[in-house]
C-alpha cells in the first residue's frame, strides 16, 4: 500500500509499505477524508518528537472499516467511522487511573504518526477498535468529520483543563483551529467574556462566530498588558493556551487573576524550559494553576462530540478553509499547513 511518510526530520514523501495486520481486537480502515494538523508540521519539520524514519504521517481522518479482528463486537467491514487522533489501550493501568492518553507511557496513547504509522495511507491500523472507533453519524459530511479527530476534542480539552465555569472571563491564546474550538467550548460552558489572541483575519472572523468578543494581537505589544488594560487591571479567570511558545506561559500567568487556571493544549515544539514569573505567580502562593494535557481520545468522547455536531449544536464547518480532492493533493495540503497563508484555517483532503 502507499503512504505519505516522514522519511527523516525535514524530509517527506510517498513510500510503499505492507498493509498492517489486524489483531483480534483491532480494525483495519481506509480513509474517506484526512486533515493535516499543525502537529504534523512540528513532527516533520521541527523534529519535536525526535527522529522517525519512514513513518507514515497523519492522525486526523474519518474512515471506512475494511477488516475487524475476531473479538471486535461493535464494528464490521463497511461501517463509516469517526477516528480519534488518540487511541489509548483501554485496559492499561494509566487508563484505569484516568489518564488514557498516557496509556503505556507519557503521551503513548497518541500512536498514529508517533509510535506507529498514521492515517495518510491507503489502509491504517486501529488498536482496540471497540474502545476507540465511533460510528459516523449519517448527517455529518466526511470532510467535517475530520475535525472530530483532534480539533474539537483538543480545543474542548483546553476548556476542561482550564476548568471554565459560568460567567468566567476567558483568555484564549491562539485561534487556529484548536483555539477556535476552545473558544466554542468556553462559550458552551458559559463564559461571559472571551478574549481571543490571534491575527489571521479568517481566524478572527471565525472566533467571533464561535463567541469571542474581544481581540488582541500578540504582535502589538505584550499579551498581558493588553489583557490587563481590557479588564481594569484585574486579569482573567481562565486562560486556554492553543498557540505561541514556551514564553507564552509568562504572559498567561501575568494575565491571570489569583486562583485562576491555565489549560494548555499547545504542542511546545521547541525550546528547553517554560519560565514561570515569580512575582506574578504570587511568589509561589498565588493559586495560579497550570495544567497541560493531551486530549484523552477514545470512543465515548468521539460519540459525544459527534452527537453535538450531529444535533446542530456545534458547527465545525467554518474550520475547513481548504478542501482538496484525491491523495495527489496531500503534499500540497501539508505544505500549506506548514506555510500558514493568511486565508488558512484547516486543509482537508477527500479520498
Binding site for Zn ion (CB under 5 A): 37, 39, 60, 150
218 forms part of the interface with ligand NDP (CB under 6 A): yes
Candidates 6-14, 23-31, 116-124, 168-176; binding stretch for ligand NDP (CB under 6 A) = 168-176
183 forms part of the interface with ligand NDP (CB under 6 A): no
333 forms part of the interface with ligand NDP (CB under 6 A): no
Helices (H), 198-329: 201-210, 223-230, 248-255, 299-310
Which parts of 89-128 interact with ligand NDP (CB under 6 A)?
none
Q: For residue 212, give Cα distances in angstroms to 13, 96, 141, 170, 265.
A: 39, 36, 26, 9, 18
Beta-carbon contacts of residue 238 (< 8 Å; ≥ 6 apart): 162, 163, 164, 165, 168, 169, 170, 171, 186, 191, 256, 260, 261, 262, 263
38 forms part of the interface with ligand NDP (CB under 6 A): yes
Among 154, 182, 226, 321, binds ligand NDP (CB under 6 A): 154
| Residue 200 contact, options Zn ion, ligand NDP, none, Cβ 5-8 Å cut-off depending on partner type | ligand NDP
Distance CA 15, CA 141 (A): 29
Among 6, 33, 136, 265, binds ligand NDP (CB under 6 A): 265
| Residue 115 contact, options ligand NDP, Zn ion, none, Cβ 5-8 Å cut-off depending on partner type | none
Helices (H), 46-100: 93-96
For residue 148, what is the DSSP state? G
Task: Select the residue whose beta carbon is closest to Zn ion and give its number.
Answer: 37
Among 69, 118, 177, 260, binds ligand NDP (CB under 6 A): 177
42 forms part of the interface with ligand NDP (CB under 6 A): yes
197 forms part of the interface with ligand NDP (CB under 6 A): yes
Task: Give the CA angle between residues 254, 255, 260 to the nearest 5°.
Answer: 95
User: Shortest approach of ligand NDP to residue 283 CB, angstroms?
Assistant: 26
User: Shortest approach of Zn ion to residue 150 CB, angstroms?
Assistant: 3
User: Shortest approach of Zn ion to residue 338 CB, angstroms?
Assistant: 14
Among 147, 171, 242, 319, binds ligand NDP (CB under 6 A): 242
Distance of CA 235 to the CA centre of its chain: 27
User: Shortest approach of ligand NDP to residue 81 CB, angstroms?
Assistant: 20
**b/e per residue 253-290 (b: at least 16 CB within 10 A):** bbbbbeebbbbbbbbbbeeeeeeeeeebbeeeebebeb
Distance of CA 93 to the CA centre of its chain: 24
Distance CA 86, CA 89 (A): 10
243 forms part of the interface with ligand NDP (CB under 6 A): yes
Q: Which positions lie near ligand NDP, rule CB under 6 A?
A: 37-39, 42, 150, 154, 173-179, 197-200, 203, 218, 242-245, 248, 265-267, 294-295, 340
Amino acid at each position: 500500500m502507499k503512504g505519505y511518510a516522514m522519511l527523516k526530520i525535514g524530509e517527506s514523501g510517498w513510500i510503499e509499505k505492507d498493509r498492517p495486520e489486524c489483531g483480534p481486537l483491532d480494525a483495519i480502515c481506509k480513509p474517506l477524508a484526512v486533515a493535516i494538523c499543525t502537529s504534523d508540521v512540528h513532527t516533520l519539520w521541527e523534529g519535536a518528537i525526535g527522529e522517525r524514519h519512514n513513518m507514515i504521517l497523519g492522525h486526523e481522518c474519518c474512515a471506512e472499516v475494511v477488516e475487524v479482528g475476531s473479538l471486535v463486537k461493535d464494528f464490521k467491514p463497511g461501517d463509516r467511522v469517526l477516528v480519534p487522533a488518540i487511541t489509548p489501550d483501554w485496559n492499561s493501568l494509566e487508563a484505569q487511573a484516568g489518564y488514557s492518553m498516557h496509556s503505556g507511557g507519557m503521551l503513548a496513547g497518541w500512536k498514529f504518526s508517533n509510535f506507529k504509522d498514521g492515517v495518510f495511507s491507503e489502509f491504517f491500523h486501529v488498536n482496540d477498535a471497540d474502545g476507540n472507533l465511533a460510528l459516523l453519524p449519517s448527517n455529518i459530511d466526511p470532510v467535517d468529520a475530520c475535525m472530530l479527530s483532534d480539533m474539537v476534542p483538543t480545543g474542548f480539552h483546553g476548556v476542561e483543563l482550564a476548568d471554565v465555569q459560568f460567567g468566567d472571563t476567558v483568555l484564549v491564546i491562539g485561534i487556529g483551529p484548536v483555539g477556535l474550538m476552545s473558544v466554542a467550548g468556553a462559550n458552551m460552558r458559559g463564559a461571559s467574556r472571551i478574549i481571543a489572541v490571534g491575527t489571521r483575519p479568517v481566524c478572527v472572523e471565525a472566533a467571533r462566530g464561535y463567541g469571542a468578543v474581544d481581540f488582541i494581537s500578540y504582535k502589538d505589544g505584550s499579551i498581558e498588558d493588553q489583557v490587563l488594560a481590557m479588564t481594569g487591571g484585574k486579569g482573567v479567570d481562565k486562560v486556554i493556551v492553543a498557540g505561541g511558545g514556551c514564553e507564552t506561559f509568562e504572559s498567561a500567568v501575568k494575565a491571570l487573576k489569583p486562583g485562576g487556571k491555565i489549560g494548555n493544549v499547545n504542542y511546545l515544539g521547541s525550546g528547553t524550559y517554560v519560565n514561570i514569573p515569580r512575582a506574578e505567580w504570587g511568589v509561589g502562593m498565588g493559586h495560579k494553576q497550570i495544567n497541560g494535557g493531551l486530549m484523552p481520545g477514545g470512543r465515548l468522547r468521539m460519540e459525544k462530540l459527534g452527537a453535538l455536531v450531529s444535533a446542530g449544536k456545534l458547527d465545525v464547518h467554518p474550520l475547513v478553509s481548504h478542501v482538496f480532492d484525491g491523495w495527489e493533493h496531500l503534499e500540497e495540503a501539508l505544505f500549506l499547513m506548514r506555510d500558514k497563508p493568511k486565508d488558512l484555517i484547516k486543509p482537508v483532503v477527500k479520498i
